[in-house]
Amino acid sequence: MSARDECLSRIRGQLAGLSSFTELPQGPTPGGCPDLDPREKRLALFSERLQASGGQLHHLHSDQAVAERLAQLVRELGLTRIARSDATCLDPLIVTAGDVEWICASSSVKEVPQRKSLFEAHAGLSSAQLGIAETGTLVLDSRVERHRLASLVPPVHLVVLDAAKVVADLGEALAHFERDELPPTLTLITGPSRTADIELELVVGVHGPRDLHVLLLDPRG
């Protein structure tokens, strides 16, 4: 018996002693945190949880302020090559970001030069369709933009989020999608990428962005 067969045999033996799974009862989608109203408390908790997870929040009150802060981050972080999603709301920001080589992360990366340029990008820029206050999580919907390469590959992720799209908790976020079919890809991002090796030592940025900057557009702030 090979090592593989022996391993599978042991797994089958362990599973054989388990009782069958019981189907969970159906019920309403959980959600609705009454203590997260009004919106100021919701945004304050989102900011707190986002920063606790290692992200950085930039609370801005106009489109111009978002564009100026993005340009400032580009200069401060020395970003000269940025992969971007195909979200149209990012187009005005790109014009004012300065001398940057923009890489469209939604284009095919099958060819080696395209793939190489994407993986050499200094940062990725996308929008987010929702924010979850309870955990400081960003929700990215692939129906709105093709974002995955821009949000997961470069070492820095820059995100534009409308403050009106910050909901209380995961239940409320999922309820947002119940009106339609779920998108092909729904990406949830809580802070920079992190992993832990067999010794349980936490390392940031090994399998994704090590820095996360959220530009929160809040005209009512």
> What is the strand order of the sheet 166-167 is part of?
166-167, 130-132, 137-141, 186-189
Given the candidates 3.50.50.60, 3.40.50.10420, 3.40.50.2300, 3.20.20.70, the CATH classification of the domain at 34-217 is 3.40.50.10420
Residue 25 is predicted with a pLDDT of 63
Dmax (CA) of the chain? 68
Tell me the residue type at 102.
W
Q: What is the pTM of this model?
A: 0.78
Residue 139 is predicted with a pLDDT of 96
Residue 96 is predicted with a pLDDT of 85
Residue 200 is predicted with a pLDDT of 66
Residue 74 to residues 16, 81, 156: CA-CA distances in angstroms? 57, 10, 11
- 73 φ, ψ to 5°? -65, -40
Q: What is the pLDDT along the chain (221 residues), one digit of tens a residue?
A: 788 888 878 777 776 766 565 665 666 555 555 566 688 999 999 999 999 999 999 999 999 999 999 999 999 999 999 999 999 999 999 888 888 999 887 655 555 556 778 888 999 999 999 999 999 999 999 888 888 888 988 999 999 999 999 999 998 998 888 766 778 888 999 998 877 665 666 677 667 789 999 999 999 86
Residue 179 is predicted with a pLDDT of 64
Angle at 108 (CA atoms; ends 205, 212), nearest 5 degrees:
25
The residue among 28, 31, 62, 58 whose CA lies nearest residue 43 is 58
Residue 18 is predicted with a pLDDT of 61
Using DSSP, how many helices (H) and how many strands (E) does the chain show? 7, 12
